[in-house]
Amino acid sequence: MKRVITYGTFDLLHYGHINLLRRARALGDYLIVALSTDEFNHEQKNKVCYFSYEERKTLLEAIRYVDLVIPEENWDQKRTDVHLYQVDTFVMGDDWKGKFDFLKEEGCEVVYLPRTPEISTTQIKNDLNNRES
Ligand code: C2G
Active-site residue flag, 45: yes
Pocket of ligand 1 (CB under 6 A): 7-10, 16-17, 20, 36, 72, 92-93, 95, 115-116, 119-120
Q: Is 47 a catalytic residue?
A: yes
pLDDT at 99: 98
Ligand 1 atom with minimal separation from the 45 CA: 23
Considering Cα of 28, then 83, then 106, then 90, what sign does the dihedral take?
positive
Cα(91)–Cα(8) distance, integer angstroms: 11
Whose C-alpha lies nearest to ligand 1, atom 4?
16
User: Which residue in 117, 90, 85, 120 sits closest to 105, CA to CA?
Assistant: 90
How many whole angstroms from 9 Cα to the centroid of ligand 1? 7
What is the C-alpha separation between 128 and 7, in angstroms, rounded?
27
pTM, 2 dp: 0.97
What average pLDDT does range 26-55 have in this prediction? 97
Phi, psi dihedral angles at 37 (to 5 degrees) = -70, 165
Q: How far is CA 30 from CA 12, 53, 64, 97, 110, in A?
A: 24, 22, 11, 23, 16
Q: What is the mean pLDDT of the chain?
A: 97
- Provide the pLDDT for residue 132: 86
Note the pLDDT tens digit of each residue in 20-33. Answer: 999 999 999 999 99
Strand 89-93 relative to strand 68-72: parallel, antiparallel, unpaired?
A: unpaired
- Whether the predicted pLDDT of 77 surpasses 90: yes
